[in-house]
Homo-oligomer: A and B are copies of this chain.
Amino acid sequence: MSEAPTIGMLPPVNADGDSPLAIIAGGGSIPIAVAEAVTQRGRRVVMFPVRGWADPAAVEKFAHYWLPLAQANVFRRHARAEGCRDVVFVGTALRPPLRSLRIDWLTLRLLPRVVRAYRGGDDHLISGVARVFEDYGFRIVAPHQIAPEILMPIGPVGSLSPSERDHVDIARALALLEATGPFDMGQAAVVAANHVLAVEGAEGTDAMLGRVAELRAKGRIATPTGIGVLVKAPKPGQDRRFDLPAIGPRTVEEAARAGLAGIAVLAGAAIIAEPLAVAAVADRAKIFVTGVAEQAAQ
């Protein structure tokens, strides 16, 4: 029995691309938002929640197979049996310590490549993993190719809009994210009255906002509550099939707790989970959530 990658081993897929969609699901609410949007479009979804990242309660209502990290053959077996050809990667991924992985024989063969991928930043790691899937005949698709309605629209979500001062902060944060892009790090920054309060590193957006809230509680932030923005944008040149920035109701709650005026996200280049809930939370907290045009950002 050969384990060599041959597309011929996959079940046939019809031209309309309506084979079931495999969703490799990290943490947070975005994978569920994608699964629901795809299901509503009438396409079957098979979830592959990653153990330790995905929320067990969230995946229960979909067909699903838990995926241990670094066990590529578990995915391959179930995805083939289910007739999946298209694969979406979505949700929060944590960079696990290499030594903590229980690595299966298939992954072991791929390990030199994974180790090389580990040496770079997140983009590097993700594209390395993606190539492995493609070698095995799967097609990696972007979540928004499958369900474009999950993309952040242009303009405000909810009833508030950024002020002129907020626009200055938004422009500065976008310029900063542009400058840090080549370093393949976070996709988010907080700027208040032109002053950079925080840049996302390995900790994630929610933790970064928690830090701003803490600094504010300690009286370490000069600007009063209601000034400052969280800005999220993909890295320049990033492969947009993976790791698009995302916001959801929780992001809005954390931004409000950090005392910010609002959230700006590059429209069409980020995912918004539960937009109605986002609008409701934003209105209740009296902060804006807005999609800014990519051209305007440059």
Chain A residues close to B by CB (< 8 Å): 94-100, 118-122, 172, 175-176, 179-180, 182-185, 190, 193-199, 201-203, 207, 211-212, 215, 219-224
Chain B residue numbers with a CB within 8 Å of A120 are: 194-195
Q: What CA separation (Å) do A203 and B182 show in the bound complex?
A: 24
8 A-B residue contacts at CB 8 Å? A97-B222, A100-B219, A121-B194, A179-B180, A183-B196, A184-B196, A201-B211, A202-B220
Name the CB-closest residue of B to A216: B97
Q: What CA separation (Å) do A172 and B184 show in the bound complex?
A: 11
**With A185-B196, A194-B121 known to touch, is A202 a contact of B180 (CB < 8 Å)?**
no
Chain B residue numbers with a CB within 8 Å of A179 are: 179-180, 182-183
A118–B203 CB distance below 8 A: no
Chain B residue numbers with a CB within 8 Å of A203 are: 198, 211, 215, 220
Name the contact of A201 in the complex, choosing from B98, B121, B190 (C-beta under 8 A): B190
Chain B residue numbers with a CB within 8 Å of A185 are: 176, 196, 199
Chain B residue numbers with a CB within 8 Å of A94 are: 219-220
Name the CB-closest residue of B to A179: B179
Chain B residue numbers with a CB within 8 Å of A98 are: 222, 224
B193–A119 CB distance below 8 A: yes
Chain B residue numbers with a CB within 8 Å of A195 are: 95, 120-122, 184, 202
Q: What CA separation (Å) do A118 and B98 show in the bound complex?
A: 45
**With A119-B194, A121-B195 known to touch, is A96 a contact of B219 (CB < 8 Å)?**
yes
Name the CB-closest residue of B to A52: B219
Chain B residue numbers with a CB within 8 Å of A121 are: 194-196
Name the contact of A97 in the complex, choosing from B184, B201, B224 (C-beta under 8 A): B224
Q: How distant is A239 from chain B, measured CB to nearest CB, in Å?
A: 17
Name the CB-closest residue of B to A208: B201
Q: How distant is A194 from chain B, measured CB to nearest CB, in Å?
A: 6
Q: What CA separation (Å) do A184 and B183 show in the bound complex?
A: 18
B118–A193 CB distance below 8 A: yes
B176–A180 CB distance below 8 A: yes
Q: How distant is A73 from chain B, measured CB to nearest CB, in Å?
A: 22
Q: What CA separation (Å) do A220 and B206 show in the bound complex?
A: 14
Q: What CA separation (Å) do A140 and B210 show in the bound complex?
A: 37
